[in-house]
Structure 1
Amino acid sequence: MKFIIRVLVVAAALWVATQLVSGVAITTSTGTAKYWGTLLVVALIFGLINAVIKPIIETIGCAFYVLTLGLFALVVNAGLMLLTSWVSQQLDVPFHVTGFWPAFWGAIVVSIVSWVLSLVLPD
């Protein structure tokens, strides 16, 4: 149940990012079941990438995290958002991020919205 709630939280956060950040988009028609299904698939991809690749990057780039007082995490999150976009395109999922800055701001929005929703929802 916890996994399903996390996927739904990330899907909601991705939806907010697509609404607020130009350059982060789902290219199916809005309001349809396919649109929301795409959000769920992208949330799964994003969650898998964060679960598998992010710990490796954090371990390798530990010095950068220390030297930048954690600000390097913003760059890593943007890269993971771009990687999610690339994997989505390879799987023919209509999710696209146009470049680094939309990925940067989109990752910040996803992080903030996910954090707020995790405060509101029970464990």
Structure 2
Amino acid sequence: MDLVSLLITWLITAVSLFAISYLPIGVEIDGFNKALLSAAVFGLLNAFVRPILQILALPLTVVTFGLFSIILNAIIFGLAAYLVTGFRLRYGFWSALLGAILLAFVRSLIYQFLKI
């Protein structure tokens, strides 16, 4: 992945996080600069922590026919919120779960709109 693609992905994730924070699901981000920082932390967690969690959760993922991967997304989302000051989950796990699902949805909409 080249640097331009990485920067585009980071920016799209930040815009998506910032947009999600305006929905009444309990995801709160203090400003766009916090969304940029949250997107960077989210990307790093996806790169380094998610593979370890996927290996550890493989039996549950197989038993649930892949649905447990949604829970893994919520865990990564919650970890990012825990690590970044100014990124909060008002309703805890439920905000993380809804936020992770909506993040994937909003990101895919932006990618479809931009045709990337």
**Following superposition of structure 1 onto structure 2, how do residues 1-123 of structure 1 map, counting pairs within 5 Å?**
1-27=4-30, 35-88=31-84, 93-98=85-90, 99-123=92-116
Provide the TM-score with structure 1 as the length reference: 0.83
Taking a change above 3 Å as real, the CA distance of residues 64 and 18 of structure 1, as seen in their structure-2 partners, is: same
Distance between the aligned counterparts of 1:19 and 1:67, measured in 2?
35
Unaligned residue ranges in structure 1 (runs of 5+): 28-34
Cα RMSD over matched residues?
A: 1.4
**Residue identity in the other structure for 1:97:** L
d(CA) in 2 for partners of 1:2, 1:114: 14
Q: CA deviation at 1:116?
A: 2.4
**How much identity, in percent, do the aligned residues show?**
31
Partners of 1:108 and 1:3 in 2: CA distance: 21
With over 3 angstroms needed to count, the CA separation of the structure-2 counterparts of 1:54 and 1:21, relative to structure 1, is farther
- For 1:7 and 1:84, the matched residues in 2 are separated by 14
What TM-score does the superposition give when structure 2 sets the normalisation length? 0.87
Number of equivalent positions? 112
Structure 1 SS opposite 2:28: strand
Q: Where in structure 2 are there 5+ consecutive unaligned residues?
A: none
Aligned to 1:19, the other structure's residue is in SS state coil
| Whole-Å separation in 2 of the counterparts to 1:64 and 1:120 | 35
Q: Where in structure 1 do 4 or more consecutive aligned residues deviate above 6 Å? A: none
